Structure 1
Amino acid sequence: MKLKLIALCFFAAPAFAQCPPVSDITGQIEQLAAEARTAENEMAGRAVSDQMWQLWLIAPDEPAQEMLDAGMRARTSYDYHAAIEAFSRLIDYCPAYAEGYNQRGFIQFLRQDYEAALVDLDAALARSSNHVGAQSGRALTLMNLGRIDEARVQLREALENNPWLSERALLNEGAPLAPVGQDI
């Protein structure tokens, strides 16, 4: 009986735990965006982009990091159901942490549930307005919803923060988000 009580307390503890305040990385991301804008070439720009992702992928505490990592492992193995569950637990635990919403939005995008993806990406951007990953993901989602003008505007905003995004090719002549008259 004593062992059952200890096990119950151990497994129930995360449900009662609170996520600590989310670190404000806005200044660091803005500095990296400035570095991306002045990068001499794509390789240097991509290196800066990787640094942005390193910041976004630091969860507020160890339980949150475990949930984030579990969701990303599930995504890597194409277990989208488990990934959504992990990211949903993360969002429930740390509702102020933008990356939980961004990652769940990405899974919804991969599942082609664009409306749900848009809700999550909007939530991510409400918490971290300069999250380039959420900005570019939102542009792709809007494009897939047929909201081309909004997608074009959103992608341009993402490119202001990081001109080296691979999605920039979508604005080229003949591409889906090319300026009116230059699109397909």
Structure 2
Amino acid sequence: MAWISGGCDPRRPLAVLRLPAVALALALLAAPPVLADQRDPALAPLFERLKRADAVEGPGIEDQIWAIWFRYPDRVVASLLDEGTVLMSRRRWAEALDRFDQIVARAPDFAEGWNKRATVRFLLDDLEGSVADIQRTLLLEPRHFGALAGLGQVYLRLERPAAALRAFQAALDLNPAMAGVRRQVEELRAWLDGSDI
């Protein structure tokens, strides 16, 4: 799940869209065949590097992971994901939700489809739906630090700070470079230490 305050920028996948069209087309033609999404074997070494990365190297590795998560070999699904992400950036939540609904129906094995729908459901205040989609995301990709950070945000909205802290900490265990999530963990720990929870 992509959260503005959770350290995962929902616009990050749109970085590809800023490339000139010709450069993007050439890059796609030159790229090796896409293995697909969360099953790509390139992820395991990236996650190992991410755990050891410093504040300078970490965001670049995170970007590489997001780029892999954002890929899907079916062109219809890839197009729907691009459309939905653009619609999200324009705050057209209902239209974005429609695109992500189509993705999860067409490609139920694609973690990022569920993750994006979880984000839109959160923005539409469908918290139960968001949690259900996050759970599906994590079933498909247990290392999805963005979904875990998003789960923390949902739990904050549900006024469940201890559960939010656990979700944020799980995200940080996977991706220590998430500065926004680290701040939330510190604030929640301080608050919980002073409360009766």
What TM-score do you get using the length of structure 2 for normalisation? Answer: 0.74
Q: 2:53 aligns with which of 28, 39, 42?
A: 39
2:188 equivalent in structure 1: 176
1:142 to 1:26, Cα distance in 2 relative to 1, 3 A:
farther
Structure 2 unpaired stretches of 5+? 1-34
The AA in structure 1 aligned to 2:193 is: G
Q: Deviations over 1:146-178 (max 9, x none)?
A: 122121111111111100112111011xx2354
1:78 equivalent in structure 2: 91
- Identity percentage of aligned residues: 24
Q: How does 1:85-96 map to 2 (within 5 A)?
A: 85-96=98-109
Q: 2:121 aligns with which of 103, 108, 121?
A: 108
1:56 equivalent in structure 2: 69
Q: How does 1:121-132 map to 2 (within 5 A)?
A: 121-132=134-145
RMSD after superposition? 2.0
1:167 to 1:23, Cα distance in 2 relative to 1, 3 A:
closer
> How many residue pairs get matched?
160
In the alignment, the residues of structure 2 paired with residue 65 and residue 71 of structure 1 have an alpha-carbon distance, to the nearest angstrom, of: 10
Contact 1:26 1:130 in 2 (8 A): no
Q: 1:145 aligns with which of 145, 152, 158?
A: 158
What TM-score do you get using the length of structure 1 for normalisation? Answer: 0.79
Contact 1:148 1:177 in 2 (8 A): no
Structure 1 unpaired stretches of 5+? 1-20
1:167 equivalent in structure 2: 181
Higher relative contact order (CA 8 A, sep 6+): 2
In the alignment, the residues of structure 1 paired with residue 69 and residue 76 of structure 2 have an alpha-carbon distance, to the nearest angstrom, of: 16
1:24 to 1:56, Cα distance in 2 relative to 1, 3 A:
closer
| Offset, 1:127 | 1.1
Contact 2:36 2:68 in 1 (8 A): no
